[in-house]
Amino acid sequence: MTDATWITGVGVGVPHGWSFDEVMDGLLAGRSAVRTVRGFDVTDYPSTVAAELGDTPRPPDIGEEFATWTRLEQLAVWCAATALRDAALWERRTELRIGLVLGTAGEGPWFWEEDSRANPTGVPCGRDRRPLTPFVAGVLDVSGPTITLSTACATGNFALSQARRWLQLGWCDVCLAGACDRSVSPLVLASFGNLRAVSRRNDDPVGASRPFDRGRDGFVLGEGGTVFVLEPSNAARARGARVYGELAAVGLTSDAYHPVVPNPDPAQAAAAVRKALAEAGVNAADVDYVNAHGTGTPVGDVAEAVGLRQVFGEHWRRVPVSATKSMTGHPITAASALEALACLGAMARGAIPPTINLTDPDPACELCHVPHAAREARVRVAVSNSFGFGGSNSCTVLRAV
C-alpha cells in the first residue's frame, strides 16, 4: 500500500483533561498539572510530587461493569473507545478489520499493589490477571490483529510505527495505536525516588519539572493515556473523515548503553531523528516545531540539545523547541503518544505550547526554546522526540494535511 497514513481520531485522558480540546487548552495556557501526591501517603518519600490522573469517566455504551475494572483497564478502554467515536467509526467497528497496538509498562506491579492495598496481609485478592490489550479488544469488539508494546518512554512512538506498518501491509483497514500508563503508585514513585531520577523540589510542585533549566534535578512522574485512529488516506478521504494530520515517518534506533542512565553521547538519538526526516522527505529547514523529549534530567537534556543542534545544523537557532513534560510531568510509557497529540494540536491551533519553568536556561541546552508562554506559529511539519530507558530512541514526523 502506498497511501499516506492519516490520523482521523483521538482519545485521551491526562490530568489536563479528557478530550483533545481540553488538553490543548491546558498546554497552550502553560498550565502545570503537577501537585503534591494525594492518592497515597508520601510522608517518607524522597519525591512527593507528580501529575496524577483522576477517576476515568465511563464511555457511552460501556456497561456498569466498568466500575469493577482496574484503573489501567478503565483508562485504556476510555482512550480507545473515544478515539473510535471521534473518528466516526464506533458504529462501524465490527464491519472493519480494526487492529490494536497498545503500549503499556509491565502490568504485574499494578496487580501486586492493588492486592496489597486491598489486603495488607499479602494474600492475593483473586482478581483476574488478564492481559490488557486483548481485554480492550474484547470490550470494543474489534477483530483485527493486536499487540502489546513496551519500550519505556518511547512506547507511544513505537506503537504508531507498528500501526502504520500494519496498514501498509494491508493487515487491517484501520488501526488503533497509542499508550496508557497509571504509574503514580507507591512502588513506582519510591523506586524512581531511590534511583534519584525524580525531582525533589517538594516545596514547589508546579516548578518541579524544569526541562533544559539550570535548576533541573530530575523528572516528575505523570500518568495518562492517548490512543489514535490511523487509516489509509484514500479510505479516509472517501468517507469524508476529519483529519488531524499525517503520520509521515517514525525513526527508531537503540543505544544499548545502560538500563536507566541516559547516554551522554547523542549519536543514536540523533540518528533516529535523521532517519525519520529522511523517510518523510523532510529537510531540517522544513521543520516548524520540535516537541522535545525534555524530561528535566541533567544528562538527558544536554544530550538531546546537542543532538538536535547536530541534526538541524545552521537551522537550529530558528526551529522552535518546547518540552511539554514541564506541564504534564512524565507519563512514562504514555509520554510519546501524548506529545504526538501536542504536535497535532500545534498544527490545529496555530500555536506552539511552551516550556514552563525555564527561568534560567542551561547554556549547554541552548536551542530555540519557547519559554513560559505559547507562541503563535504556522505549523505544517512537527517532530516529536522520545528516548526511553534502556536506549530506545524514537522520533515521529507529523505533517499537516
Catalytic positions, please? 153, 293, 330
Give the CA diameter of the chain. 61
Q: What residues contact 278, with CB distance under 8 A and at least 6 apart?
A: 249, 251
- Alpha-carbon gap, residue 164 to 99, rounded angstroms: 11
- Alpha-carbon gap, residue 186 to 61, rounded angstroms: 33
Sign of the four-CA dihedral 383, 137, 22, 66:
negative
Q: What residues contact 284, with CB distance under 8 A and at least 6 apart?
A: 277, 311, 312, 313, 315, 319
User: For residue 303, what is its C-alpha cell?
Assistant: 544530550
Name residue 326's amino acid: S
Sign of the four-CA dihedral 26, 31, 32, 33:
negative
Helix (H, G, I), strand (E, B) or coil at 89: coil
Do 400 and 347 form a contact (C-beta atoms < 8 A)? yes
- Alpha-carbon gap, residue 35 to 70, rounded angstroms: 23
Helix axes 267-280, 298-312, angle to 10 degrees: 40
**Alpha-helix residue ranges (DSSP H) falling in 195-297:** 233-238, 267-280
Pick left, alpha or beta for residue 234 (phi over 0 → left; psi -120 to 50 → alpha; otherwise beta).
alpha
